[in-house]
Amino acid sequence: MKMVINGKLIDKNDKINILNPANNQIVDTVPSGNLEDIKQAIESANQAKAVINDMSSRKVSRILYNIYEDVLKNSNKLAQLITLETGKPIKNSVDEINRSVETILLSAEESKRIYGETVPLDACIGGRTALGFTIKVPLGVISAITPFNYPINLAIHKIAPAIAAKNCVVLKPSIKAPLAALELVQIMAIHLPPGVINAVTGHSSVIGDEMVSSPLVNKVSFTGSVKTGISISRKASMKKITLELGGNDPLVVIDDADINKAVKAAVSGAFINAGQVCIAIKRIILHEAIANEFIDKLVSETIKLKMGDPSDSKTDVGPLIDEDAAKKVEMLVEDSLDNGAELLLGGKRRDAFYTPTIIDHVKSNMKIVSEETFGPIAPIIRVSSVDEAFEVANNTEYGLQAGVFTGSIETALKAANVIDAGSVIINRQPTFRTDNMPFGGFKNSGMGKEGIKYAVDDMTKTKLIVFG
């Protein structure tokens, strides 16, 4: 696979091997881009600003509609690439592509809804005869940096709104899973003027700083770790930034909840994509009155999950992104058991595969729940009251998304007010996300919002026009 710079496919002699985590075989190679490559991509984007800015909103929308149709035609190929490079079960990869093409469609529609407003200047001294209004203008060049777990959808959530707002983009996909993203950019580049969309692969230590600190870049949109996000915020200076830094998402189940519904949500939410999802359930907080019933049903339902070949449409749980990631999960599970937790199911690793695991009697200070565990783990924390449940839910440096199951409207409203997270999902799947909703967390989960309308707004700046 090749990089895309200024509308051209660029290869390099220095390559990075992309491995299939299910069997550790090489899927393909990508160029190992260097500092000159990223500078060229940013300069190309900077030069293309005037071209896309001169387009009508109608034309930009039409281009995005055409990209939507083209990506839709290539959806099977893209889904297969996602599965090959990430180990994501193919049925989940298909879901990701379906969401992604809808996100492009939403962006095509939103590109024609970028409004300014009139300003009542006559409300102030000296403004009686003045006419004021605002317009939204593009920022210019957007640096988009994405992780491995949703290689197409997370890229689309940065690229499509940027183009809808008439910006140019330089994408750096994860070197653990760049193939589907590169294929996507190659499809998009066919429809766009050279330089509007670029993609450079390479090591962050080589090209990352330039993407963040270049004076030609106007905004950095990053999804990844807290450590890297904090570093970006320091290096970005006066640029706009959006940071989606993951979560330690709780599922709270109160004693008046629909247990069967909550269990179903827990199984799906904890083990989707082998737990490698920022909004996956990382902690299950159970009222002690229903804990034993819930746990028995959780174990029974989890046993039904099929782990194995991600290309098999019947597979529910595939491998983690690599063996090191699985070893880290293994270490965290062992640490929790050494500190008094009880293993109810799973706890076994084979290469990059880690079995769906349920652990009871977990305490909030254990690493498996105090850190963000990116793996198929369901740690259970028992509590004795609603207040304690919400206190435990908030006992984390993260605040991305939370789920609550309760039969009480009063408890639900309290959860909505008390839980310190960007989204509180009540009585439905806690990993619920539609691509038009405002998405982003509080605390160390980041800053800013994704979701088409909200991303478009943050990828523009407001200009005031006054007639005297």
Sign of CA dihedral 372, 454, 187, 232: negative
What distance in Å separates the CA atoms of residue 273 and residue 293, rounded to the nearest whole number? 26
Query: Are the CB atoms for 253 and 285 separated by under 8 Å?
Result: yes
For residues 51, 54, 58 and 61, what is the CA-based torsion angle, rounded to 10 degrees? 30
Evaluate whether 303 touches 265 at the Cβ level (below 8 Å).
no
Identity of the amino acid at 33: G
Can you give the three-state secondary structure of 327-389, one letter per residue?
A: HHHHHHHHHHHHCCCEEEECCCEECCEECCEEEECCCCCCHHHHCCCCCCEEEEEEECCHHHH
**Closest listed residue to residue 265, CA positions, set 277, 248, 253:** 253
Cβ contact 3:29 at 8 Å: no
Residues with a catalytic annotation lie at 244, 278
As given in the structure block, the two tokens for residue 180 are 């589907």
Gap between the Cα atoms of 69 and 64, Å rounded:
9
